[in-house]
Structure 1
Amino acid sequence: MKPATLNAELDVRTGGRYRISFVSDDGEYFEAGGTYREVVPNELLVFSWAWHSTPERESLVTISFKPDSAGTLMIFHHAQFFDEAARDNHQRGWSSFLDKLDAFVA
């Protein structure tokens, strides 16, 4: 089974909020959300990230987009984790997502 987005509500503007829900490869339900702190079209997204189950463990995602000879280079940075286990779990999750995104746009 592939992860499936069940719902995505996005208000992509500085101060706007988002909430997404999805099911993982093993069938586990997840819901996350946050606030866009900075939005520069075609250049930068900065937003808070927190799981619905642990809203007090907010972290920060920064995604930069830069022109590249082959198209666009995306630089992804997720920081301010609650602990090393959270960091490692997010690394696995984002790596899986980014691999799928790479395959989709290839």
Structure 2
Amino acid sequence: MQWFGPTSVEEGSVKADIDLRVGGRYRISFNADGNYNEVGGVYREVVPNERLVFSWAWHSTPERESLVTISIRPEGSGSLLVFNHAQFVDAAARDNHERGWTEFLVKLEAYLA
């Protein structure tokens, strides 16, 4: 929760309810740019230290479900994270998520530094 979301996420506003297992659900809420946001989904694949696959849908548009796949593998003295978010309803949704996830990954990198 310390590094979740784009840079516009208000510090201390992130709340998460996570049941990390295949078939388990998650729900994450946060404030950004003065707006309340809530996203959730179901874990479809959980391979510790290797792979995480889950559905992704905003509370306001549950019919617009997409799919996130995160893979991690050793590389050199560190790890390589491969992030894929697919099955968007349109190009605008894809582009908005790309912006948000890019900021999210920058925050994660800073947190791990």
Runs (4+) of structure 1 exceeding 4 A deviation are none
1:42 aligns with 49
TM-score (norm 2): 0.87
Question: What secondary structure is seen at the aligned counterpart in 2 of 1:31?
Answer: strand
Displacement of 1:57 in angstroms is: 0.1
- Give the paired residue count: 105
**For residues 2 and 55 of structure 1, do their structure 2 counterparts lie closer, same or farther at Cα, with a shift above 3 Å needed?**
closer
Share of identical aligned residues, percent?
Answer: 66
1:61 to 36, 49, 68: 68
1:2 CA displacement: 5.3
- 1:87 aligns with one of 85, 94, 98: 94
Kindly provide the amino acid, as one letter, of the partner of residue 53 in structure 1.
Answer: S
Alignment partner of 1:7 is 2:15? yes
The aligned residue for residue 16 of structure 1 is: 24
Q: Which residue does the alignment assign to 1:29?
A: 36
Q: Which runs of 5+ in 2 are unaligned?
A: 1-6
Which ranges in structure 1 are unaligned for 5 or more consecutive residues?
Answer: none
- Aligned partner of residue 97 in structure 1, secondary structure: helix
| Equivalent AA in structure 1 for residue 72 of structure 2 | F
